[in-house]
């Protein structure tokens, strides 16, 4: 009885001791990353020496080799490729569009445009009157007017939605599904307002998907300023547009996920995954999308090794191939995890850019969320807290394999992300070193806590 009382009375002291230990370790991780971090330098190498990394391109192939060599230099237990086939879409030329007539008056006003990813060539110049619609509802109401027209969707991101990611999700279908929905009624081409929050005229590309039941018509995004002007004028005038695109596919390419691993000392069969995607679009350096997620992943590995940290659970550091226009890297990682009968307890993706970290988003039960939120006092010092909602495109197949796998993501201040997303402006110069490294600090802190305590039931 006396021993029992001693244990009961000493429990708060033991718990406080553990909290202090965790606080000290997280501070060490922070100091290491903020003082000696290599993420910014690695990002400079990736963006300036390799550049844009479209799936199937030589740059994407070189980026995988670069990632493997650099992670090997941090001396994890192992580094390996996971081969996968990826789509091999090519832009094929310089996309073009111009207003060539207004109410019958001939003119030539060039528009800032960019073909949507995975879209097909126009096979020469396409010229037609423009039919502008605010949304899919208007398209359906006016479907009898569509035949022979170029349909323009006014797919602006709702400025009243403070969470820009949600605004993007709401507008996404105009880019992904818009071409086929217009082709269903006889449209000859589609234009959209770039899914952008920028007050500029830089068009933003991004993936679209054809429905095989309808013609595969060309599709372009307009720069925000040109898009708004076209929409306003076409509401009261007949606008005629000429456009040309060149997109095509080659046979699927041979690419690789790059995986580094630290083997767990106590629970080696419980796997924690951290990742970002190596590929980007062809028109920029892919700095925020997703070079920052790539170097976040590499920096956490580097910091753990620099502090001689030996994890309890196996931690994987994954640079995924082909998130942008196919998701083949995430599918291959999940496929191999399933075939190898691996137990993945949690996965985190950084794919929201390298801006100031705000939270760790978690998709899990309410009971688990409450447990994770007990860590908030340790994380808030570094700018984040655990909140509901998280995951990433590369992780979704892993979650489908096993509903018990918890999917998480680093959530950052997203107010500027869609100014740059998929545009020529997504370059190294638009990444802040301190914000980037602070993101790595918060990922490292969270992953350390998951490794120490697991995820519960």
Catalytic amino acids?
323
Residue 105, SS3 per DSSP: strand
Residue 141, classified by CB atoms within 10 Å of its CB into exposed (0-12), middle (13-18) or buried (19+), is exposed
Count of H helices and E strands in the chain? 14, 16
Task: Find out whether the peptide bond into 430 is cis, omega within 30 degrees of 0.
Answer: no
What is the DSSP code (8-state) at residue 373? H
Q: Which run of H or of E encompasses 244? A: strand 239-244
Q: Which run of H or of E encompasses 335? A: helix 328-339
User: Token match 């090997």: residue?
Assistant: 72
Query: Which one, of 349, 355, 348, lies nearest residue 434 by Cα?
Result: 355
Which of 157-193 are b and which e, b meaning 16 or more Cβ less than 10 Å from the residue's Cβ?
beeeeeebeebbeebbebbeebbbbbbebbbbbbbbb
- Rounded CA gap, 192 and 87, in Å? 23
Strands across the sheet containing 267-277: 78-90, 248-262, 313-320, 267-277, 343-349, 406-412, 357-363, 386-388
Measured between alpha carbons, how far apart are the two ends of the chain, in Å? Answer: 31
Angle subtended by helix axes 433-453 and 2-36, to nearest 10: 150
Within 13 A of 371's CA, how many CA atoms are on the CB side?
13
Bridge pairing between strands 357-363 and 386-388? parallel
């Amino acid at each position: 009885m006396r021993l029992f009382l001693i244990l009961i009375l000493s429990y708060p002291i033991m718990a406080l001791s553990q909290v202090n230990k965790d606080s000290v370790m997280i501070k060490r991780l922070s100091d290491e990353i903020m003082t000696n971090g290599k993420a910014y330098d690695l990002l400079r190498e990736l963006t300036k020496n390799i550049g844009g990394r479209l799936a199937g391109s030589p740059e994407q192939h070189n980026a995988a080799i670069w990632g493997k060599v650099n992670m090997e230099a941090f001396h994890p237990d192992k580094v390996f490729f996971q081969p996968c086939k990826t789509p091999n879409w090519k832009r094929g030329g310089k996309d073009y569009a111009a207003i060539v007539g207004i109410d019958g008056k001939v003119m030539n006003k060039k528009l800032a445009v960019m073909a949507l990813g995975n879209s097909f060539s126009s096979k020469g110049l396409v010229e037609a009157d423009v039919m502008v619609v605010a949304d899919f509802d208007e398209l359906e109401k006016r479907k009898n007017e569509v035949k022979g027209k170029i349909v323009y969707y006014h797919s602006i991101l709702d400025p009243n939605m403070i969470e820009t990611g949600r605004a993007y999700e709401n507008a996404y279908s105009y880019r992904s599904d818009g071409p086929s929905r217009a082709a269903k009624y006889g449209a000859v081409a589609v234009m959209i307002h770039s899914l952008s929050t920028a007050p500029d005229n830089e068009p933003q590309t991004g993936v679209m998907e054809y429905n095989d039941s309808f013609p595969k018509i060309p599709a372009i995004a307009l720069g925000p300023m040109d898009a708004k002007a076209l929409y306003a004028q076409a509401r009261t005038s007949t606008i005629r547009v000429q456009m040309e695109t060149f997109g095509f596919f080659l046979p699927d390419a041979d690419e690789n996920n790059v995986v580094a691993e630290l083997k767990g000392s106590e629970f080696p069969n419980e796997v924690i995954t951290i990742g970002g995607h190596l590929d980007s679009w062809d028109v920029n350096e892919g700095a925020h999308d997703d070079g920052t997620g790539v170097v976040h992943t590499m920096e956490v590995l580097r910091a753990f090794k620099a502090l001689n940290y030996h994890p309890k659970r196996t931690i994987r550091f994954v640079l995924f191939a082909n998130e942008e226009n196919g998701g083949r890297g995430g599918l291959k990682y999940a496929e191999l995890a399933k075939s190898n009968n691996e137990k993945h307890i949690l996965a985190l993706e950084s794919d929201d850019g390298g801006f100031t970290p705000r939270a760790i988003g978690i998709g899990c039960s309410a009971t688990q969320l409450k447990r994770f939120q007990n860590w908030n006092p340790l994380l808030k010092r570094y700018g984040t807290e655990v909140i509901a909602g998280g995951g990433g495109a590369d992780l979704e197949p892993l979650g489908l394999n096993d509903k018990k796998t918890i999917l998480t993501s680093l959530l950052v201040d997203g107010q500027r992300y869609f100014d740059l997303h998929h545009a020529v402006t997504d370059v190294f110069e638009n990444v802040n070193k301190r914000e980037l490294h602070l993101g790595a600090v918060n990922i490292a802190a969270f992953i350390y806590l998951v490794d120490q305590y697991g995820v519960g039931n």
